[in-house]
Amino acid sequence: KKSLFSGMQATGTITLGNYLGALKNWVDIDKDQYMCFYSVVDMHSITVRQEPSELRKRARSLLALYIAAGLDPVENCIYYQSHVSAHAELMWILNCFTYMGEMNRMTQFKDKSQKHPENINTGLFTYPVLMAADILLFQSDVVPVGKDQTQHLEITRDIAERFNKIYGDVFTIPEAYIGKVGQKIMSLQEPEKKMSKSDENANAHILLLDDPDTIMRKFKKAVTDSEACIAYSEQKPGIKNLLDIYCAINGKKPEEAVAEFEGMGYGRLKERVGETVVEELRPIQERYNDIMKNKDYLNKIIKDNGEKASYYATKTLRKVQHKVGFPDRI
**Positions that interact with ligand ATP (CB under 6 A):** 8-9, 11, 15, 17-18, 21-22, 145-146, 148-149, 182, 184-185, 194-198
What residues form the annotated binding site for L-tryptophan?
A: 134
Which residue lies nearer to ligand ATP by CB, 77 or 185? Answer: 185
Which residue lies nearer to ligand ATP by CB, 82 or 196? Answer: 196
Closest residue to ligand ATP in the complex (CB): 21
Q: Which of 178, 160, 272, 266 is nearest to 216 (CA)?
A: 272
Return d(Cα 298, Cα 67) in angstroms, integer.
10
Collapse the DSSP code of 249 into the 3-class scheme (helix H, G, I; strand E, B; otherwise coil) and give the result.
helix
Return d(Cα 44, Cα 233) in angstroms, integer.
35
Which residue lies nearer to ligand ATP by CB, 134 or 320? Answer: 134
Interior angle at CA 13, CA 10 and CA 18, nearest 5: 85
Report which residue type is found at 173. I
**112: annotated active-site residue:** yes
At its nearest, how many Å lie between ligand ATP and the CB of residue 248? 9
Please report the DSSP string for 185-248 in residue order: PBPSSSTTSB--TT-S-GGG--BTT--HHHHHHHHHT----SS------TT-HHHHHHHHHHHH
What crossing angle do the helices spanning 150-167 and 107-115 adopt, rounded to 10°? 130
At its nearest, how many Å lie between ligand ATP and the CB of residue 55? 12
Catalytic residue from among 57, 193, 197, 323: 197
Catalytic residue from among 194, 218, 240, 270: 194
At its nearest, how many Å lie between ligand ATP and the CB of residue 8? 4
Helices and strands: H and E segment counts in the chain = 14, 5
At its nearest, how many Å lie between ligand ATP and the CB of residue 146? 3
Which residue lies nearer to ligand ATP by CB, 78 or 317? Answer: 78
Q: Name the residues annotated as catalytic.
A: 112, 194, 197
